Chains A and B, each alone.
Chain A
Amino acid sequence: MIELKDVRKSFGEVEILKGINATFDTGKVNLVIGSSGHGKSVMMKCMVGLETPTSGSVIYDHRDFTHLEYKQIREVRKEIGMLFQGTALFDSLTVEQNVEFALKMFTNMTPAERRDRVDFCLEQVDMPGINQKFPSEISGGMKKRVGIARAIALDIKYLFCDEPNSGLDPITSRLIDELLKSITEEFKITTIINTHDMKTVFDIGDDVVFIYEGNNEWSGKVKDIKTSGNEILTRFIEASQFH
């Protein structure tokens, strides 16, 4: 479980996050929705430690991530997998080397064991047999799947996905959604997805946090989203033509 307690983040004079409180449960697909520029990505960066909150706490299973020593932060980060919007695959490494990367850095697995684990992860994302290809040789959808395989290579507890469907066609987008849902359930991890794609929300979401102008405007179950009574959220859903 991940908790956010009054997380604030400012860049100079501009306050982007204005005291976010939220809880993300284990074994669920937690969705963070909201329009572009309202602080979703900044919130995710604060959660994984790529940005330091101006104040407040991010708590990973009772560990206050924001106030840990650098060494302890690195230990928590080994439990985190992240799928970036642009996939962020290492372009000088092959698909196999990308997925193998964390295993090589943090485990004492033999090369054969690592290869088995890589094959397992690539099978999980339905991408077997592309081990020797470079990221530049595969499509956007394939890159996303390899990104997920890399994220789950270690036994992670938390999976973060920043706009996993951006730039993908509807069919591939649906496949990625299903993949994230099945991985969350199979490995019992806490998955947090940043999106403004309402189809993703209704297809795979369990819990939703709606961010508006740096505030947690509404949070609750996906099934309650249409009856939330929140005017801004209702407008957001209407604009996405999923009402």
Chain B
Amino acid sequence: MLWTFYLVKKIVGLIFTAEMNFFNQFGKYVLFIRGMFSKPEKLSVYIDRTITEMSNIGIGSLAIVVIIAVFQGAVTTLQIAYQLVSPLISKPVIGSIVSDSSMLELAPTITCLVLAGKVGSHIASEIGTMRVSEQIDALEVMGINSSGYLALPKIIAGLIMIPCLVIISIFLSNAGGIFAGEASGILSSEEYLQGARASFLPYNLFFALIKAVTYAFIITTVSSFHGYTTKGGALEVGASSTKAVVYSAVAILFSDYLLAQLLL
């Protein structure tokens, strides 16, 4: 009996500590975001940095987004065709399902999960390295708002470029679907496009963009926060980078569910 009581007490204690840690971290995250928004020391420098980050995030991630989108569309087409083996279902339905899935879920969510790995780890390790090598301290001593200078251009660049990448991903998913349909002889491009057109709702595209903007904010802020709060040396920079990716991915999946529940 005493042993059970001790175990329950221990478990409750652990849950309580974990919860407190979560709220503590979340509070710090909110303060970090709030701290970024002060009057820029020089707007032109911030604009230059934003353009550079747009190139890093957008152009730098284009290749991986293209590859993932094309294969994602192609594989989805083949699997949908495999599952819908009934003479009662017309072939354009395959195109309709693939294009809707691409727009509503695959392109925004899968693309952003990949970007959480690529962009997120890059942001966290870059800022984390600056932290442990005292470069952030140097900015602060100069009188520069270091969180604003380092993170704000990345966040703005992410908010602009990640939705663009998601739109490209939607387009290429469909291109991949058409290619796979034609190559395997399952359905022609006309049948695919007929289905895609029939089920197209402009709201779905709007929903995809809402998702993309939300995920962009999560990836850039969570990664910047983990980089900025790094303490220690090279090992901790690696740990921050990993944490940034994991937390971003979990937050993306959680908000994916929340957005679907609220907006669909």
Contacts and interface: CB of A to CB of B under 8 A. Distances in A.
B142 interface: yes
Interface residues of A, number: 24
B42 A88 contact: no
B142 A86 contact: no
The secondary-structure label for the interface of chain A is mixed
B153 to A, nearest CB: 13
Contact of A78 (B134, B138, B140, B142): B142
Contact of B142 (A77, A85, A160): A77
A84 B134 contact: yes
Contacts, number: 53
A106 B41 contact: yes
A85 B133 CA distance: 10
A160 B137 CA distance: 13
Given A91-B133, A104-B42, A105-B45, A84 B138 contact: yes
Nearest to B44: A104
B85 interface: no
A105 B41 contact: yes
A233 B138 CA distance: 32
A80 interface: yes
Contacts of B140: 49-50, 77
A146 B254 CA distance: 47
B27 interface: no
B144 interface: yes
Nearest to B149: A105
Interface string B146-173: 0000000000000000000000000000
A186 interface: no
B143 A78 contact: yes
Contacts of B135: 88-91
B141 A77 contact: yes
Interface string B109-147: 000000000000000000000100111011011111100
A102 B134 contact: no
B141 A49 contact: yes
A86 B138 CA distance: 11
A82 B141 contact: yes
Contacts of A49: 140-141
Nearest to A153: B142
Contacts of B133: 86, 88, 91
Contacts of B143: 73-78, 80, 106
Contacts of A236: none
Interface in A78-107: 78, 80, 82, 84-86, 88-91, 101-102, 104-106
B45 to A, nearest CB: 6
Contact of B137 (A73, A76, A84): A84
Contact of B141 (A50, A75, A85): A50
A78 B145 CA distance: 12
Contact of A80 (B130, B141, B145): B141
Interface string B245-258: 00000000000000
A105 B148 CA distance: 13
Given A50-B141, A78-B143, A88 B41 contact: no
B138 A82 contact: yes
Contacts of A80: 141-143
17 contacts: A73-B143, A74-B143, A75-B143, A77-B143, A78-B142, A78-B143, A80-B142, A80-B143, A82-B141, A84-B137, A84-B138, A88-B138, A104-B42, A105-B42, A105-B45, A106-B41, A160-B141
Interface of B: 41-42, 45, 130, 133-135, 137-138, 140-145
Of all A-B residue pairs in the complex, the 10 with the closest CB atoms, nearest first, are A77-B143, A88-B134, A74-B143, A88-B138, A82-B141, A78-B143, A105-B41, A84-B134, A88-B135, A48-B141
Given A78-B143, A84-B138, 5 more contacts: A77-B142, A86-B134, A88-B137, A90-B138, A104-B42
